[in-house]
Structure 1
Amino acid sequence: MTDFLLNRRSLLIGAGSALLAGSRAFADSAPSGVAQAAFLDELEQRTFNYFWETTPANGLTPDRWPSESFCSIAAVGFALTAYIIGAERGWVSRASARDRVLTTLKFFRDAPQGEGRSGFAGYKGFFYHFLDSRTGTRFKDTELSTVDTALLIAGMLACQSYFDAATPEETKLRDLVDEIYGRVDWAWAMVRKPFISHGWHPETGHIKWDWRAYDEAHFVYLIALGSPTRALGRDSYDAWASGLPEAWGSEWGQTFVRFPPLFGHQFTQCWFDLRGMADTFMAGKGIDYFENSRRATLAQRTYATVNPNGWRDYGPDCWGITASDGPADVTRVVDGKKREFHSYAGRGVGGNVWDDGTLAPYGAGSSIVFTPKESISALMYMREKFGNHLYGRYGFVDSFNTTFRLEDVKLDKGKVVPDLGWFDTDHIGIDQGPLVAMLANHRDQTVWRATRRNAHIKRALLKAGFKGGWL
């Protein structure tokens, strides 16, 4: 154990030197502020265009593109959020964005609900994780998802506050959000009270797992607490928060509530502006969730700089380990080491490590509100280094792995570029979504300015015991 700790200390010292060297190198060749702003503007618009251009007339945003895909209701939640960004930037008119939102809301208001195995979009106010893009009903045997329904509702709430005019159309929009939100039966999903189940299958009933840990579950409980008609009590939030002490610890020079994939530190704060406010647990630690996410991001950047497993191209400007596509499920000897690669996986660092050399640009980019300098540097570096293999019509593709250069393996997704590595060819809605939301929040708090005006969100935070900040 002593040798391990000494080795870990030497790695961290080495990381500090590498970070300093990397920072100096970046400072010597850093693009101007004008160039940075132009890059971020372009990236934000391209990422917005993913939602605007790939979503069909019925409002059912695809899970991914260009691969043929079903609809992801979570991607719809991010699409709704993107529409207000597009309207705010003038990329689309306010009327066009409003009409797209209304179309989407009317679909979910009218989509059939029932406990049958097919022919329904949801049950008890919840919706299935994936929907057939043409029929709008359950896709194959996918689950009724509490977390994905919460993501959908979060996007609706952002639109409810953004479209605040006293016109018949925008009044109708706000009423539709309350109607859809209000019929979600959160108590029905609490089969092991006071926790919320992951979901339900009509064939087998409720999923046996509950939302208990620090991860995307945070916003599930906040959305449930804010319901206008079926709100859960404070006891459910406190029960969830009781697991936070177990996740508190130190990793790679930072002390924080740990969850390995970066998306778990980002999703909630796409909509909930938690700067300067704390619940009971965070108040006891003297920080807020915003600072916690900052530390989680910096810990991962340090891990990539140390690069203990020797993956190609990792460094202070090349990081972003989170849930993403991957090349294939295969084990091979690469660079003299036995390497285990994966297809889609919830990769991450913090508490434990699941790392196969795959990086997702959205992982670094969606932390831009927490670590603006580091995230912008990483995004610009990856764009410059890997060019059109990584960046195209809708901004960054989902992920890449330059250690994986195996050309005799059947790929799950993407392509192998000789002498450069594996690059995804798909964009994924739930990865594009946090990136465009956080880019907008970094630029002028577009989403946060809307959601801070939302009575349901404010009620949820107060009920959960948050104090300070904009409250």
Structure 2
Amino acid sequence: MHPKPLLLSLLLLPGALQAQQKPAPKKASVSTATFDPKKRPRNLSDEQLLDLVQRQTFRYFWDFGHPVSGMARERSNVAYDYGNEVVTTGGTGFGIMAIVVAADRKWITREQAATRLYKMVRWLEKADCYHGVFPHWLNGATGKVIKFGAKDDGGDIVETSFLMEGLICARQYFTADTPLERDLRNHIGWMWDNVEWNWQTQGGQNVLYWHWSPNNGWSMNHQIHGWNECLITYVLAASSPRYAIDKPVYDLGWATGPEFKNGKEYHGIKLPLGPDLGGPLFFTHYSFLGLNPHGLKDQHADYWAQNQNHTLINYQYCVNNPKRYKGYGPNSWGLTASDSYQGYAAHNPKEDLSVISPTAALSAFPYTPEQSMRALKHFYFDLGDKIWGEYGFVDGFSEEHNWQAKSYLAIDQGPIVGMIENYRTGLLWKLFMSSPDVQRGLGKLGFESAAVKK
């Protein structure tokens, strides 16, 4: 489940905090019969451990992808009373990037990867979408919209931006002059061209709106202001070849939120943007799977400093451990949205339920490599009997409550693969930032970057 809107998507799912996770029917459940975490390899170098974690996590998208559409399933278990056909638009975008990584590392062949992505794209062309904007959830067999909330049954521009982030990386990667890769690039290009980003300004306002529905129109009325995970939405909206927004939409919409500017220090670390103590760490992951924060600046912030400092504040909070939770410390840290013993929650220093989400520290490798490696080794070598599984690390755990999730979520597994790869090789950053459309959009919004032509 995507943490929407911003920190409290739970409000859209009545009873979500009390939701009990139920085993899925066999065709959608995680197979554990042949997987024994106690037999996991032990004598591994740091590089071998990173390889193993990326590859195992990638399997969520490859082995567990929906059999009809190839799309990423929302989660590995059934909860909140939705069925096992639910696939996620944004999580699929992250999964596409994981598949690109897998092809580049030769865990699968280039042709296998291109074939799977071509299947997804052709399926998406027939699925429900509204002004080129896809819903948050779709039925992976039929392509019909599945409601995310009472009125959330139409286009979701943020989820669509995560999908397009992945598709742009794929288009930049699959450049071979073969019929398959040519067709894949063409179909991605048409889909990208057809997203009506400017439609989401609700008639030309200087702000993007998150949702539009053919049944409910603009009634959700959720404007997208910063700072949060949605920077990529504004960047792609400015980058569109056909339906771009103008700079005032960024300046007067995104950059005016009540939690945009910060400038205060926490644990002696200055936070340029965002809510007090930074919020959950997915703010530093989702947009930056593709956007390279190195040298990325505009009038508001240096985005490398923003993301690194946010991560260090989150880390230091866990080390200080003001609530004295069992298990917190320099080798066990990372608060972000994930499942918890109470249901889904947007874990952060101001909403700390004692739950560590492995995706938080692992997707932070580019920002805090030493701290992330300590956490990875602890998660794998010390806690692996409980939290390592067929698709990598489970979604969350609490030593305080002796609880471990049984679940994996697409939006948490995907950033682990992609952000570790960006730490190791910068692959996804290079691909995404090489897009002429993205370069034009960043320049239009006033960003500085090595990728932006002067």
TM-score between both structures, scaled by the size of structure 2 = 0.83
For the residues of structure 2 that align with 1:242 and 1:425, how far apart are their CA atoms? 39
Cα distance in 2, alignment partners of residues 100 and 300 from structure 1: 37
Given that 1:109 and 1:179 are in contact with CA atoms closer than 8 Å, whether structure 2 keeps it comes out as no
Q: For residue 452 of structure 1, report the CA deviation from its aligned partner.
A: 2.4
1:42 and 1:49 map into 2 onto residues whose CA distance is 11
Counterpart in the other structure of 2:362? 365
More deviation in 217-226 or 62-71? Answer: 62-71
Aligned pairs, number: 393
Match for residue 194 of structure 2 among 183, 204, 209: 183
Say if 1:178 and 1:228, in contact at 8 Å, map to a contact too: no
Conserved 8 A contact 1:398-1:427: yes
In structure 1, which of residues 195, 205, 215 is the aligned counterpart of residue 207 of structure 2?
195
- 2:289 and 2:422 map into 1 onto residues whose CA distance is 8
The corresponding residue for 1:15 is none
Whole-angstrom CA distance in 2 between matches of 1:53 and 1:187? 37
* Kept after mapping to 1: 8 A contact 2:124/2:143: no
Alignment partners' CA distance in 1, 2:307 and 2:325: 24
Distance 1:97 1:469, change over 3 A: same
Candidates 100, 111, 136, aligned match of 1:129? 136
Deviation at 1:33, TM superposition (A): 11
Shift of 1:147: 0.5
- Aligned twin of 2:430: 449
Task: Look up the equivalent residue of 2:227 and give its one-letter code.
Answer: Y
Could you tell me how far 1:66 is from its partner in structure 2?
A: 4.3
Residues 295-341 of structure 1 show CA distances to partners (whole Å, capped at 9, x for unaligned) of 1111111111111111111111111100000112xxxxxxxxxxxxx
For the pair 1:386 / 2:396, whether they are aligned, the reply is no
Partner SS state of residue 314, structure 1: coil
- Structure 2 residue 281 is matched with structure 1 residue 268: no
- In structure 2, relative to structure 1, the CA distance for the partners of 1:199 and 1:271 (3 Å cut) is same
CA–CA separation in structure 1 for the residues paired with 2:437 and 2:231: 16
| Distance in structure 1 (CA, Å) of the matches to 2:146 and 2:393 | 27
Gaps of 5+ in 2: 1-41, 79-83
Q: Take 2:268 and 2:415, find their aligned partners in 1: how far apart are those partners?
A: 26
TM-score under structure 1 length normalisation = 0.80
Mapping for residues 156-235 of structure 1, pairs under 5 Å: 156-191=167-202, 193-206=205-218, 207-235=220-248
Confirm or deny: 8 A CA contact 2:137 2:148 kept in the other structure.
Answer: no
* Residue 107 (structure 2) pairs with residue 96 (structure 1): no
Once residues 245 and 145 of structure 1 are traced to their aligned partners in structure 2, the CA distance between those partners, rounded to angstroms, is 22
Q: CA deviation at 1:34?
A: 6.3
Query: CA separation in 1, counterparts of 2:431 and 2:449?
Result: 18
CA distance in 2, matches of 1:44, 1:314: 24
Equivalent of 1:73, from 73, 89, 98?
89
Q: How far 1:424 sits from its partner (Å)?
A: 0.3
The CA distance in 1 between the partners of 2:294 and 2:43, in whole Å, is 25
Q: CA deviation at 1:141?
A: 5.6
Please state if 1:49 is matched with 2:59.
yes
Other structure's SS at 1:458 match: helix
C-alpha distance in 2, partners of 1:347/1:248? 22
CA contact (8 A) 2:337 2:345 kept: yes
**Distance in 2 of aligned mates of 1:175 and 1:395:** 33
For the 8 Å contact 2:88–2:136, the answer to whether it is kept is yes
Shift of 1:443: 1.3
Q: Distance in 2 between matches of 1:48 and 1:255?
A: 35
**Percent of residue pairs bearing the same amino acid type:** 29
**Matches of residues 234-383 of structure 1 in structure 2 within 5 Å?**
234-239=247-252, 240-243=254-257, 246-256=261-271, 257-258=273-274, 259-282=278-301, 288-328=302-342, 343-349=343-349, 353-383=350-380
Which secondary structure does the structure 2 equivalent of 1:248 belong to?
coil
Question: Which consecutive residues of structure 1, in runs of 5 or more, have no partner in the other structure?
Answer: 1-31, 112-120, 283-287, 329-342, 405-420
Larger Rg: 1
Partner AA of 1:345 in structure 2: A
1:207-243 alpha-carbon deviations (Å, 9 max, x no partner) = 2111102111211101111111111111111121234
